[in-house]
Amino acid sequence: MFYFDSETTMAIMRQKCGKTRADLTQEELKLLNEIRRAKQQLLLEIKELENEMANVNADLEAMDYDEKSDCTMKQMNIGRSKFNMDPKKGIEYLIENELLEDTPEKVAAFLFKGESLNKTAIGDYLGIGKDFNIKVLEAFVQEHEFKDMILVTALRQFLWSFRLPGEAQKIDRMMECFANRYCESNSGVFESPDTCYVLSFSVIMLNTSLHNPNVKEKPDLERFYAMNKGINEGGDLPKELLKSLYDSIKSEPFKIPEDDGNDLTHTFFNPDKEGWLWKQGGRIKSWKRRWFILTDNCLYYFEFTQDREPRGIIPLENLQLKNVDDSKKDHCFELYTADSKEVIKAAKVDADGRVVEGRHLTYRMSAGSAEEKEEWMKAIRASISRDPFYEMLASRKKKATMPHEN
């Protein structure tokens, strides 16, 4: 039924009948009031209908959004899992599925947020020497705010955001970026980023010496002064600054990310190399992917990067290394003894959790590429003759102690 509003009804009546409201009879007034009530009821029903339609549309949109959101979340979780297993492939997956923009800044922000990401994997990705990764590293460091922080506080924040890899060259790039960022945020504290770089390592070494139970001689404050003498481009840093750093480390050691398990000072200073390799079994010649750490003239291998205990240890003493071809795996190399019949002295954890002697005559590994294989072989050969980390630090310290030339 169609209703006129009351004003329209009155206008019609005036036009047709020449009547005003005062001229209406009781029945006509009653009809007018019914029209008004009907109008209000109709407007109310229209409003309710509009609300219901809006709710239905919202539900439909939400259903569509939830389906897309669930799909996106599922892809994100897959991408994060891939990243934790292989950082490079994980980032590629996220970019290919348009979940992450292909820019250093966006990738750095994703790593800095670190949601469900393994911090070892973050450090591994940041340590890659490709141009794009180096730009990501620089953008990642820019995500940190170090303004008005003392150096040790900035270091705590920085070292908590990822796990430093073991290779000296990677550490050099990362710490150089940190030093540049710190000096940029705190101008005037140091004469140059080289000073900040060297002092940062001094602080971390102090942390090792004070809190590692294997270090018997604990350095006192005077020794810490001596360690850092002349590093500010030939001049000395204020003793108050050095004392504040010393007291901070002595009272509170660096914390390590929980998902990494391994001791930070051990993996930071000692490893010559770390990464994923395929390892061939001894009695059963199957291949298993393991996380290897090369340190202290030994190869340690883990099932996962976050494991606290290695699955096996291979001492490198008296071992030799060679390239080998394998019908099932590419980029293989092999550890062996001079006497091909001699069992390599090694240890592993068996299925019952017991540590037992290894029975390998050889250890055969497969790298992900020819380049990775060469890097591993070079690092293994060099690990017992030199420590690249200390060579790198000595070179930078020499540079920092040289007076600045205007």
CA-nearest of 158, 232, 148, 139 to 185 is 148
DSSP one-letter code for 324: E
Number of Cβ atoms within 10 Å of the Cβ of 396: 20
CA distance 179 to 194: 7
* The residue to which tokens 């947020």 are assigned: 113
Q: Which residues lie closer than 8 Å to 234 by C-beta, 6 or more apart?
A: 401, 402, 403, 404
Pull the structure tokens for residue 203: 């602080």
The CA-atom distances, in angstroms, between 205 and each of 168, 185, 200, 211, 361 are: 15, 24, 9, 10, 38
CA distance 200 to 227: 12
CA distance 276 to 345: 22
CA distance 88 to 297: 28
Question: 362-366 and 273-280: which strand pairing?
Answer: antiparallel
CA-nearest of 161, 166, 144, 244 to 203 is 244
CA distance 7 to 13: 10
335-345 burial: b if 16+ Cβ within 10 Å, else e: bbbeeeeeebe
CA-nearest of 372, 190, 390, 359 to 271 is 390
CA distance 199 to 190: 10
The amino acid that residue 298 corresponds to is C
Annotated catalytic residue 222: no
CA distance 206 to 287: 41
* The residue to which tokens 């994060």 are assigned: 80
| Catalytic residue selected from 92, 167, 222, 371 | 167
264-288 burial: b if 16+ Cβ within 10 Å, else e: bbbbbbbbbbbbbbbbbebeeeeee
* H or E segment to which residue 368 belongs: none
353: left (phi over 0), alpha (psi -120 to 50) or beta: left
Q: List residues with catalytic annotation.
A: 167
